Amino acid sequence: MPYHNFREYVERLKETGDLVVVDRQVSTDMEMSVITRRNCQRQGPAQLFTDIKGYPGWDVVMTPIGTWRRYAISLEMDPDSHFNDIMAEYNKRKENPIKPVLVKNAPCQENVITGDNIDLFSFPVPSEGHAGLDSRQARNIGTWNSAICKDPDSGWVNYGNYRSMILDKTSTTVFTSPAQHIGMMYYEKYKPAGKPMPFAIAIGGSPLTGLIASTSLPAGVSEPDIIGALQKEPLELVKCTSIDLEVPANSEIVLEGELSVDEPLADEGPSTNYAGYRSKLFFKHPIFKVKTITHRNNPLFISSILGLPVCESTIVAGMGMSSEYLRILKENGLPVTSVYVPPEGGLHIVVVATKTPYPNIASRIGATILGHKMGALSTKVVVVNDDIDITNLNEWFHAFCTRLDPAEDIAVNKHAFNYPYGTSYLGPEQRVSGDGSNVVFDATIPHSWKPEETPYRHSWDNPNIYTPEVIEKVRNNWDKYGFEK
């Protein structure tokens, strides 16, 4: 059965041992963020904070999907599922979109707050660690959410996960990059027309709403349809109370309002990007004017704190990117067997396993990936043979170090577009223009080598070195030798 709300998902995490309940009192003023970041860097469980200083009665869930185990659990799969199995299931379900259904009464509208009663500071939003700033600054209320907007011409509704920093009781900034769908709508349509952009932030609901909102899908694809596909039943939506948008009915909290087109862009930051680096600069982004807040009774607040991998951004986006790269490589007839965007790499690198039926296959694979719009993020492509488990860092890094000829197997492309907001190696001017580079590493065994000229990888389970019977005997008796199975 799918999770109909975030609370059911939390209970499942408790059952599987993938959530720790923190009942010691903690502060939103950096303490929760430091706990969360240390836990992420240790690849620990999700956290449920139940005693938050200054916010009696509130519970906060942090890092809801920060490991492949929790990604599997969100899809109701075995927590120990291999990445390849998770991606296969994700791809299979995604091929069968299910339209959402509209309901009249929704849990997310059990409470409606308007006018002078709106106070964004009433929510237990963690400060992200700007030591020396006012304690009310650096609080991003939108970090694990569905940020919802609509194309004024086509009616296409986009779900994204866009950072939203609280400015005052009734307004936030919204990270609005011109390269993202929200930015295309805002800067190309709403702002030129002088019309404020209806906008909603929905926090909570099925874990798959936040997951898909954080996944890069092509323009025009309906995220609610894909959420329905992943949960195998229609997503329930409800009309907002004050704007012309619909939001997931089982959300915990919904902020309704508009992105201003009249007011000057506001300072946002300093902030951390998906690659794990904290900028020392402020960026300019539109102001979100909140008209109405609706929420469930006793709502949960859900948050994610970006930082060094591994965390939500590199897990969730990594799955979406791996899936999309596999799709386009297959569509181009390339004999790839698997694709992996390692979360440890901050989305900057993609590893591909392939058969090598002809020479220079790595260059074709690299060109296909780097020619995709997401190639502006993952600017490093490593291609290995399909005898390598690319989800195992030890295996593909060994192949990278031992099969790559530095003089022959590295192809650097200069003056390639790099995504400016997350590419930490770009200089100040390049961060504006995106003028960077990319590279393809060919760590495959040369096609010209004959079988007898190719050495074996000496692994315990290589049947070219040890007999299959002995390998199977050792595998089956591993715990009997005294090792953990």
Interval 434-463: pLDDT, tens:
899 999 999 999 999 998 899 999 999 999
Say yes or no: 174 and 214 in one domain: yes
- Asked if the structure places residue 315 within a domain, the reply is no
Say yes or no: 299 and 203 in one domain: yes
Say yes or no: 213 and 254 in one domain: yes
- Asked if the structure places residue 34 within a domain, the reply is no
Phi–psi pair at 29, nearest 5 degrees:
-80, 75
CA–CA separation, 66 and 46 (whole Å): 7
Query: pLDDT at residue 464 above 70?
Result: yes
- Asked if the structure places residue 59 within a domain, the reply is no
What would the pLDDT profile of 309-341 be if each residue is shown by its tens digit? Answer: 898 889 999 999 999 999 999 999 999 999 999
Which domain, by its residues, includes 421? 332-448
What would the pLDDT profile of 59-99 be if each residue is shown by its tens digit? Answer: 999 999 999 999 999 999 999 999 999 999 999 999 999 99
Query: pLDDT at residue 130 above 90?
Result: no
Say yes or no: 422 and 462 in one domain: no
CA–CA separation, 259 and 141 (whole Å): 15
Which residues have C-beta within 8 Å of that of residue 99, sequence separation ≥ 6? 224, 225, 228, 234
Say yes or no: 141 and 173 in one domain: yes
Say yes or no: 139 and 288 in one domain: yes
Whichever domain contains 390, its CATH number is: 3.40.1670.10
- Asked if the structure places residue 128 within a domain, the reply is yes
pLDDT in the model for residue 218? 86
Say yes or no: 401 and 465 in one domain: no
Tokens representing residue 126 in the block: 């963690």
Say yes or no: 408 and 479 in one domain: no
What would the pLDDT profile of 408-421 be if each residue is shown by its tens digit? Answer: 999 999 999 888 77
Query: What letter represents residue 338's amino acid?
Result: S
pLDDT grade for 255, boundaries at 50, 70 and 90: very high
Say yes or no: 297 and 397 in one domain: no
Q: What percent of the chain has pLDDT over 70?
A: 98
Whichever domain contains 275, its CATH number is: 2.30.110.10
pLDDT in the model for residue 426? 82
Tell me if 380 sits within 8 A of 438, measured CB to CB. yes
- Asked if the structure places residue 64 within a domain, the reply is no
**Total domain count, the chain:** 3
Domain end, chosen from 284, 303, 322, is at: 303
Query: What letter represents residue 306's amino acid?
Result: L
pTM above 0.75, yes or no: yes
Pick from 339, 373, 324, 334: nearest CA to 356: 334
Tell me if 135 sits within 8 A of 143, measured CB to CB. no
Query: pLDDT at residue 424 above 90?
Result: no
- Asked if the structure places residue 267 within a domain, the reply is yes
Query: pLDDT at residue 277 above 90?
Result: no
Say yes or no: 243 and 380 in one domain: no
pLDDT in the model for residue 485? 80
- Asked if the structure places residue 317 within a domain, the reply is no
What would the pLDDT profile of 150-176 be if each residue is shown by its tens digit? Answer: 999 999 999 999 989 999 999 999 999
**Mean pLDDT of the 140-144 span:** 90
- Asked if the structure places residue 148 within a domain, the reply is yes
pLDDT in the model for residue 137? 61
Say yes or no: 206 and 237 in one domain: yes
Say yes or no: 294 and 199 in one domain: yes
Pick from 283, 251, 69, 57: nearest CA to 146: 251
